[in-house]
Structure 1
């Protein structure tokens, strides 16, 4: 009797496997509304993420400047260029190329696209305009990422890729390292890839051509797009046209346009930075053919391998399995990895800006090629990998390398900076480090580290440039005094001197 009761009781319970299935089904039902909510509102959520990024990093970039951690090269340089531009002297500088006479920035870099910022700078003529403008430009880079992911992947994935974009290693470094014109290329390159995938030829070409106005190496990036169009899209006419336009534009800029604005001075950077592999376009090609081992030795260096690890690690290397689309990466990687100038192969510098939309975009295309059943797992890997890399190597507020001190004003500046008000707005100034970008809204300003005193009426020194050595700083002050300057104000490791 007891046995039959136990059997009835046992029979009344659902089997364990059934319980597990019911639990899983219940969990799935509870997750399904959340997923539906995220999918239905992914555009709004992506916009809110972008807004949070913009407010956070726009604020941090301004705080970094206002706490005297920005520098003359390059924030002070671009601030002076924009200030001169809105005062009727387009692109004039006394800092670019460390050339301490009025000259055109266009003789150093072809960056006509800076005019996009001129109306905003006219309304608020201060470095903060450039910093906020750069933050807006980098935030807008998430837009084509969202559109491309929504085009190629199932609903919900676009939001994942927006997160991956904002976590991408170089992005915050670019955002928080002064201002650089190449940051303006991130969104147009992203849109170029999106329009190419939607086969909208004219918007694609407009986006690519706009990047030609940002910096002289951008036409080389277009060559990668042309190769993808040629081999991946099988559009021989468009692809060959883009390749030809990119190559012709690049060589015209470095051999004719920039030397014209430089009043005959040749474009210096290929000889300076690519001497080990040929020192000229023809020399590099010759080295490729006659001495490929030298090319391989130049590329496979420890720091360059670390650079590649930081660039492709966050997306688990997916970009390289995107088929012909991977061709868009090659020209940019080529001119970065062949260089001997270390900032060019560092994911903490502005030089990696063109890779941001290209690496993210090709990784999206690679995920779209994967079997649908594997895509959620791969997307999860992307987010986890991006979080891990941003913590270990990035510059997010939670990153292990993040230095909150970069956004706080050292007490030594608080007492000293008000004394700089004695400098007349039209006075010629030579200044050091974080002070240069606070004195750059004038026709004549020099960065003391690279240009010395020149004909400055005022000299502002900071012992940060002397590796925080008061002994070296005192010798520096004495050297300036020996040139006929007298001290007007002093602070801890700070000095203001005037021509006597």
Structure 2
């Protein structure tokens, strides 16, 4: 094995980049969590896993707070709300045994890095089906250097993290003609979430157009499209109305004037107005072009001239380009990861037909430069504030948090969090939520009321808010300013009415307890801090 390692530079490159990616991303992602920069979605997934562990499958009060019944109809969040009405994600149960061993939100941070790293390992073996080790090694290095891979790794846990591993494994099974594994992986891909079938559909289209496996490809297309239509129109609505009243309208509402819409309604809206479809596809032109260049960059732009890349990645790209909102064209967030497998497989196929191009020193240097640029852009984009201690969040006005400053803040916050019993109901600000989400009853401030398992509306036992963080960021960000105003006014109201007492205050973090007398020292400290707020 040692001799093989020494005599195979491509394998050595793949192993070194895999290890480097895993260690660096693991350190950064875990640090992001423990320094309280992991945010709301980390809490949602952790509560879902925690509820799964206790037999309450896919239930989440945090997800309920985002449901259309709460957001649009003004109802109270419910602890027994099933998240499957928002995102149908049964594949998460695969990782249930791992979470059962280490039931904490930090486990999900580690699992995220493991899944995306494993995708790169399978990619190397997939590339070796067509390419010599040096080229396969460069393909693997390009994967770990991609902005669309690094960004979605340095973030909250998300279900799309499974996509590269499953799709690369599916393509490898196809190359090996291992059809039982191929169809098993196809089912697993569909189980990732309701729109994962779009990526699988692209694989089926490639299988048909390449004429390699036309009948199997047609079956894949039929399975994926039929599953998505059945799931979003018949199964998910059983759990809630979110898919038709919220998510379809938020992402594709420009194709309909109705107050609610199914996937079939949106598809008809696209087909019946092709001009609007074309406009949405190419606009905004500058951001669309930058997005494509960013996806192609680590592979030296080869996917742009690879028909298989367009066949497979074209459908996830189409879903993004036809949607609305800032996030669809953000290359550092999770949605970008769904495009990656098709681009890399397409690059592998292209290189299998043009292997001599790699022997040109000028092109190899160009590719290395592209990889280096991709890593540079990944760092300077500061994905999900991972590098907050290096890169200021805002230049004008200046907003910057140093590493010692943040860890002093964390040290002041932890004793307050420790005062909240594990079984107590609680409401917390965004970045504290993940650290308290291993419980049945939790909300995000300014929400204080929820419906418990007895179907009774209650106010949470505890509320904890990081006002200091909001104060620091509100000078540059409207969302933080709005949250600061709402939460401070809420604290003023519930403490004045004696609904809650101030039992702790440290470094801008306040802890409230229901129906409790104020801790005099904490109350005085809060009053002094409150007077300095311009709210």
Q: Normalising TM by the smaller chain, what interval? A: 0.7 to 0.9
* C-alpha RMSD of the superposition: 2.9
Aligned pair partner of 2:316 in 332, 346, 349: 332
Aligned pair partner of 2:388 in 382, 397, 403: 403
The reply on whether 1:437 has 2:434 as its aligned counterpart is: yes
Unaligned runs of 5+ in 1: 1-35
The reply on whether 1:94 has 2:61 as its aligned counterpart is: yes
Query: Which residue matches 1:391?
Result: 376
The reply on whether 1:56 has 2:24 as its aligned counterpart is: yes
Query: Which residue matches 2:45?
Result: 78
- Distance of 1:190 and 1:45 partners within structure 2: 19
Q: 1:392 to 1:49 in 2, by over 3 A?
A: closer
- Distance of 2:299 and 2:81 partners within structure 1: 43
Query: Which residue matches 1:21?
Result: none
Deviations 1:397-453 (A, max 9, x none): 99x99433589434233123212222111111000021111111110011125x455
Query: Where does 1:2-13 land on structure 2 (aligned, <5 Å)?
Result: none
Query: Where does 1:130-149 land on structure 2 (aligned, <5 Å)?
Result: 130-149=108-127
- Distance of 2:494 and 2:135 partners within structure 1: 60
Q: CA deviation at 1:166?
A: 0.6
The reply on whether 1:481 has 2:449 as its aligned counterpart is: no
Q: 1:59 to 1:402 in 2, by over 3 A?
A: closer
Q: 1:375 to 1:242 in 2, by over 3 A?
A: farther
Could you say what secondary structure the match of 1:330 adopts?
helix
Deviations 1:76-120 (A, max 9, x none): 111111111112212211011525212112122111111122111
Contact 1:169/1:395, CA 8 A, preserved across alignment: no
Query: Which residue matches 2:274?
Result: 292
Q: 1:37 to 1:226 in 2, by over 3 A?
A: closer
Query: Which residue matches 1:22?
Result: none
| 256-265 or 188-197, larger mean C-alpha shift | 256-265
- Distance of 1:168 and 1:237 partners within structure 2: 34
Unaligned runs of 5+ in 2: 68-76, 391-400, 451-458, 476-480, 516-535
Could you say what secondary structure the match of 1:84 adopts?
helix
Aligned pair partner of 1:428 in 425, 429, 432: 425
- Distance of 1:225 and 1:108 partners within structure 2: 25
Query: Which residue matches 2:505?
Result: 490
Contact 1:63/1:407, CA 8 A, preserved across alignment: no
Could you say what secondary structure the match of 1:459 adopts?
strand
Q: CA deviation at 1:379?
A: 4.5
Could you say what secondary structure the match of 1:438 adopts?
helix
- Distance of 2:386 and 2:108 partners within structure 1: 25
Could you say what secondary structure the match of 1:91 adopts?
coil
Could you say what secondary structure the match of 2:513 adopts?
strand
Query: Where does 1:316-355 land on structure 2 (aligned, <5 Å)?
Result: 316-355=300-339
Q: CA deviation at 1:393?
A: 4.1
Could you say what secondary structure the match of 1:490 adopts?
strand
- Distance of 1:65 and 1:194 partners within structure 2: 34
Q: CA deviation at 1:218?
A: 0.8
TM-score by length of 2: 0.79
Could you say what secondary structure the match of 2:464 adopts?
strand
Aligned residues: 463
- Distance of 1:194 and 1:261 partners within structure 2: 35
Aligned pair partner of 1:457 in 452, 458, 461: 461
The reply on whether 1:416 has 2:417 as its aligned counterpart is: no
Q: 1:157 to 1:128 in 2, by over 3 A?
A: same
Q: 1:445 to 1:194 in 2, by over 3 A?
A: same
Query: Where does 1:161-310 land on structure 2 (aligned, <5 Å)?
Result: 161-262=139-240, 266=244, 268-278=246-256, 280-300=262-282, 301=284, 302-310=286-294
- Distance of 1:259 and 1:336 partners within structure 2: 23
- Distance of 2:142 and 2:313 partners within structure 1: 18
Contact 2:37/2:386, CA 8 A, preserved across alignment: no
Q: 1:86 to 1:393 in 2, by over 3 A?
A: closer
Q: 1:452 to 1:381 in 2, by over 3 A?
A: farther
Q: Which is greater in Rg?
A: 1
- Distance of 1:263 and 1:280 partners within structure 2: 10
Q: 1:38 to 1:97 in 2, by over 3 A?
A: farther
Q: CA deviation at 1:134?
A: 1.0
The reply on whether 1:43 has 2:16 as its aligned counterpart is: no
